[in-house]
Amino acid sequence: MHSTKVLIIEDDDVTALNLKMSLEKFGYEILSLANDELSAQNKIKIYNPDIVLIDIGLKRQNEGIEIAHFIRDKMPRPFIFLTAHSDTDMLISAKQTEPYGYIVKPFEPLNLHTTIQMALYRFEEEQKRLNSIDALKHDKEHLEKLLYVKKLSDQPIVEFGEDYRHDISLGETFYKNQKIKLTKKENAFIRLLVVHLGSVVDFAQATDYVWEREGASDNSVRTLVWRLRNKLPTDVIKNSSGVGYYLEE
């Protein structure tokens, strides 16, 4: 089992030792101790900790906050502030670094352990969301490239079925030159089918593109297709049993 690697930034030797001993009892791996900004930055780069504990009140004013800014901007990972007081101005500055928690000294070992676990969980969930957003952005960029390739005679029009056309620049669908009134999601689905004209769009592709980060299921896609079929003059959307849908060319 992976032991969580912790870097402690604390300039009081007794507090630092208490932190180290308390965390080791919970199975954490204490990588090193640092007591100022320079050594903290160097040790973060060298040891690559899973989480960092930062004394907000290091000897030089705002030094702990500057370390937090470095972590957030240069080497993202969860960090928790240790504080022995409630200086309003300092706490306002600390909040701007978006810490993953606060521990008031003198600390309770169980409270420290719980705060660390919540910080690790929150950071992991944030990374998942960011990765999902990046993947979605990449997919949409790829989709736009595909749409560009499909422009016919330098006009952003794709024809499909019999008497249908989709205007890419307007994001609208026409039948016999009459605009078909569709919702945003219906238009997005048609757009996706147009990009993949001649091949099947499966349920996963549909939910990822049409619903983005919203919750959706295969039944959401089926319901959307049912509504579209009621709006379109002909049955131009075809089934690929159990897989997805495609447009009649």
What burial letters (b/e) apply to 131-143, b meaning 16+ CB within 10 Å? eeeeeeeeeeeeb
- In the chain, where the domains are located: 5-132, 150-247
Q: Any alpha helices (H) in 102-167, and if so which ranges?
A: 109-149
Q: What is the CATH number of domain 150-247?
A: 1.10.10.10
As a whole number of angstroms, the distance between CA 197 and CA 87 comes to: 63
Contact in structure between 170 and 147 (CB atoms under 8 Å) = no
CATH class of the domain whose range is 5-132: alpha beta
* Tens of pLDDT, residue by residue, the chain (249 residues): 478 999 999 988 899 999 999 999 999 999 999 988 899 999 999 999 999 999 988 877 788 889 999 998 888 899 999 987 666 677 777 888 888 988 888 889 999 999 999 999 988 888 777 766 666 566 666 666 555 545 444 457 888 888 898 887 778 899 998 999 999 899 889 888 888 887 888 888 888 888 875 678 888 899 999 999 999 999 999 988 778 899 887
